């Protein structure tokens, strides 16, 4: 059976306008979260996207995520070959604080040239923008494939991107991840490690310190050394392309003890570390573990040092790659770096030159009254049309 390779079904299918497409996506709740109280399926969103791209002539495959009920990825392919272009986005959103929204998070509303709704910029809006780019190329014949990826759980475990990377079944030259960057090409970002330290000491009456071992005091000593470690890696690792040019370590949550008149028997600290590209995350974790266990042994307490999430590695694509230069030319903006993590390391590990670039600002992501500015839509779709033309229609 021949593989369809032309964009000749857009006028035949007559998909609704951009606003209607985005409204359909926003209306489907698809929160992902480590908390079971919040976590939801993304399969309804995947099925909707599968219908859209199937109607446009793409071959679609819905891949269930093993061990994650109701979670799936979509791979939609138009054309054949091994040197095409991937346009990738995630279908989940973060949890939302509805009382702080001035509109319904699941109803698309246009106010002052902005589309408001949960996921409008981060990042359900990327998929209707892809379709806008295709509308502008109706009738084009592809010499190399265009592949649309829609993933699960980017906002929590990144299980979708991890499953794709593990399968390794997608081949191409270049990949764009449409996270909100205000249409600026991003060629590197920091990684993220989230860690937990649980110290178990010995409770006792506070009138006599000899009756117990304070887990809180042990944790204070560990924190002091963690902060020294933070200063050390800050001094020895710098990259001026980042707004915050050094790796960060944030002490995000601490809990311990139960009463002022009891020696603290348990104390727990959660923190994150965001390493720069080029830093070895395995080595970082070994150093952190060494600090924690050395102090625990000295103070004769039990300790558990565990990751809260699987590490997302730092990401970097060389400034000299064809994709980075093409994105810079099409946008008129230099490639830069961001502190937040994306699925880019997983696509990069599959052999793609990868750039993160999408409409909307990260400043609106994860916020009440999230919005996508209308003036971002056409410029982004124009950039995507240019990339599709370069990599799929007229590949060198």
How much helix, strand and coil, in percent to the nearest 5, is found in the chain?
A: 35, 25, 40
CA atoms 306, 310, 312, 313: torsion sign: positive
Helix (H) or strand (E) holding 226: helix 215-236
Cβ-Cβ contacts under 8 Å for 182 (sequence gap 6 or more): 359, 360, 361, 362, 376
Please state, as a whole number, how many other Cβ atoms lie within 10 Å of the Cβ of residue 33.
17
The per-type count for the chain, helices as H runs and strands as E runs, is: 10, 16
Strands of the chain (E only): list them: 59-64, 72-78, 85-90, 109-111, 114-116, 146-151, 174-177, 186-189, 193-200, 248-256, 266-274, 302-307, 315-316, 336-338, 353-356, 371-373
CA–CA gap between residue 126 and residue 145 (Å, rounded): 19
SS3 260: coil
CB 177, CB 356: distance < 8 Å: yes
Catalytic residues: 92, 154
Half-sphere exposure of 148 (CA within 13 A, CB side): 28
The CA angle 11-13-18, to the nearest 5 degrees, is 85
């Amino acid at each position: 059976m021949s593989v369809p390779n032309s964009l000749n079904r857009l006028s035949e299918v007559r998909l609704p306008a951009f606003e209607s497409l985005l409204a359909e996506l926003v209306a489907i709740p698809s929160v992902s979260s480590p908390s079971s109280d919040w976590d939801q399926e993304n399969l309804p969103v995947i099925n909707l996207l599968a219908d859209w791209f199937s109607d446009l002539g793409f071959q679609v495959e819905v891949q269930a995520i093993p061990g994650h009920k109701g979670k799936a990825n979509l791979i939609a392919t138009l054309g054949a070959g091994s040197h095409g272009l991937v346009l990738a986005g995630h279908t989940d959103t973060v949890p939302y604080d509805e009382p702080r929204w001035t509109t319904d998070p699941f109803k698309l509303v246009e106010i002052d040239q902005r589309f408001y709704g949960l996921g409008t910029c981060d990042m359900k809006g990327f998929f209707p923008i892809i379709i806008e780019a295709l509308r502008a190329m109706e009738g084009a014949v592809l010499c190399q494939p265009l592949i649309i990826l829609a993933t699960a759980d980017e906002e929590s475990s990144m299980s979708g991107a991890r499953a794709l990377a593990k399968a390794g079944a997608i081949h191409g030259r270049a990949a764009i991840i449409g996270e909100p960057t205000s249409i600026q090409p991003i060629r590197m970002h920091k990684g993220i490690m989230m860690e937990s330290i649980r110290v178990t000491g010995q409770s006792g009456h506070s009138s006599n310190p000899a009756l117990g071992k304070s887990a809180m005091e042990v944790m204070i000593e560990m924190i002091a050394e963690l902060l020294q470690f933070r200063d050390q890696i800050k001094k020895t690792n710098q990259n001026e392309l980042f707004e915050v040019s050094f790796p960060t370590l944030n002490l995000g949550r601490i809990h311990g003890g139960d009463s002022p008149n009891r020696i603290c028997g348990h104390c727990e600290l959660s923190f994150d570390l965001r390493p720069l590209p080029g830093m070895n995350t395995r080595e970082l974790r070994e150093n952190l573990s060494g600090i924690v266990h050395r102090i625990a042994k000295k103070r004769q307490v039990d300790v558990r040092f565990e990751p809260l999430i699987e590490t997302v590695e730092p990401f970097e694509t060389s400034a000299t790659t064809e994709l980075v230069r093409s994105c810079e030319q099409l946008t008129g903006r230099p490639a830069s770096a961001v502190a937040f993590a994306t699925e880019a390391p997983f696509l990069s590990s599959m052999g793609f030159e990868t750039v993160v670039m999408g409409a909307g600002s990260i400043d609106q992501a994860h916020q009440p009254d999230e919005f996508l500015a209308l003036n971002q839509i056409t410029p982004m779709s124009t950039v995507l049309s240019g990339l599709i033309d370069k990599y799929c229609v007229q590949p060198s």
